[in-house]
A and B are shown apart, each in its own frame.
Chain A
């Protein structure tokens, strides 16, 4: 079945460094991908999305890269701040409207 996974369960970075969170997906029919941020005690919140006809999309301090050849998705956070500490999930949607989530990466930003 379809699945979306992350390479690392935890990531620790220094404040001001750039962070890269990776995700691998297995469903080649997926055509839309989303990154979510979940802070403690809250539900996941939308960060950025990308369609399968794109390789890269930039937001404010965040960039998502999509490599369809190897079914790999990454989230880059520039100049990571303490407020970026959270669990990050990638998710994909194919032909249905159901989100399929990865297992999550916990990002810790050290001052």
Chain B
């Protein structure tokens, strides 16, 4: 089974801090995604990557950036955390063309105070 590991389950950060959320997968999947999940809004796509050093904006990229220096690792960066970025963040991976093969991590619950 594919394992998608998010480095932290819970994080508390201060407003203005630079925050790194890490996601690592062990099955050589090309595609990696970052979603945020908020009550009543479902999952919304922040950024995604189809390959190393490639990134594309999702639906809500403002206030975020990403880094994919290695195929197995996809990092989400909050340049200057704000309270409205308090949320659950979910990483997902899939192989190219395997639309049913999305695998999600367990999520990182970030609180910005």
Q: Which residues of A contact B (CB under 8 A)?
A: 1, 9, 32, 34, 41-46, 49, 89, 93, 97-104
Contact = CB atoms under 8 A, between A and B. Distances in A.
B40 A9 contact: yes
Contacts of B41: 103
Interface residues of B, number: 26
B4 interface: yes
A1 B45 CA distance: 14
A43 B94 contact: no
Question: Can you list the 9 inter-chain pairs with the closest CB atoms, starting with the nearest?
Answer: A43-B104, A103-B42, A101-B43, A101-B42, A49-B100, A44-B104, A93-B99, A104-B42, A43-B106
A30 to B, nearest CB: 11
B11 interface: no
Contacts of B48: 98
B100 A34 contact: yes
B105 A43 contact: yes
